[in-house]
Amino acid sequence: MVKKILARGYVGFILLLMYLPIFVLIAFSFTDSSNVGTWNGFSLILYLRLFQNQEALMALGNTLLLAVSSATISTILGTMGAIGVFYSKKKFKKTMELTTQLPIINAEVVISLSLAVLFVAVGIARGFVTLL
């Protein structure tokens, strides 16, 4: 019982350490100071400036478009792959199950760098499609 309480307390402490900087940034985003750590009173001026900045709004729109597009494409491809693996023979199914574990073993940075090198070698211009 004591071990369980200590384990939960440890996990809670680690989560607090991980999320505390985010909460500090959220709190200091509601002031008009340009320096984090200086509180000049409650203000929404930074958010007003953010939503008046056309570049920031365009970046937000591109991010949302990328998120929706990638979620839709990966859902469709994942569903098609799952159906294909479900109805395949045992040897192919085992091979596909091992192949799908590769992104878990391999770091995202390695995959990203490899894809970037591939896109440059093939001559695909960097942009929305390569990011997707």
Do 42 and 57 fall within a single domain? no
Boundaries of domain holding 114? 101-132
Do 27 and 15 fall within a single domain? yes
Q: What percent of the chain has pLDDT over 90?
A: 39
Q: Contact at 8 Å (CB) between 95 and 36?
A: no
Residue 91 in tokens: 């040897």
Number of domains in the chain: 3
Residue 129 has a pLDDT of: 84
Do 44 and 80 fall within a single domain? no
The per-residue pLDDT for range 8-26, each reduced to its tens digit, is 999 999 999 999 999 988 8
Handedness of CA 113, 116, 118, 120 (dihedral sign): negative
Do 65 and 46 fall within a single domain? no
Residue 104 has a pLDDT of: 78
* pTM higher than the cut 0.75: no
User: CA dist 11 to 1, 8, 15, 21, 52, Å?
Assistant: 16, 5, 6, 17, 40
Residue 75 has pLDDT above 90, yes or no: yes
Q: What is the mean pLDDT of the chain?
A: 89
Do 26 and 47 fall within a single domain? yes
Residue 132 lies in a domain: yes
- The residue that leads in pLDDT, 103 or 85, is 85
Residue 94 lies in a domain: no
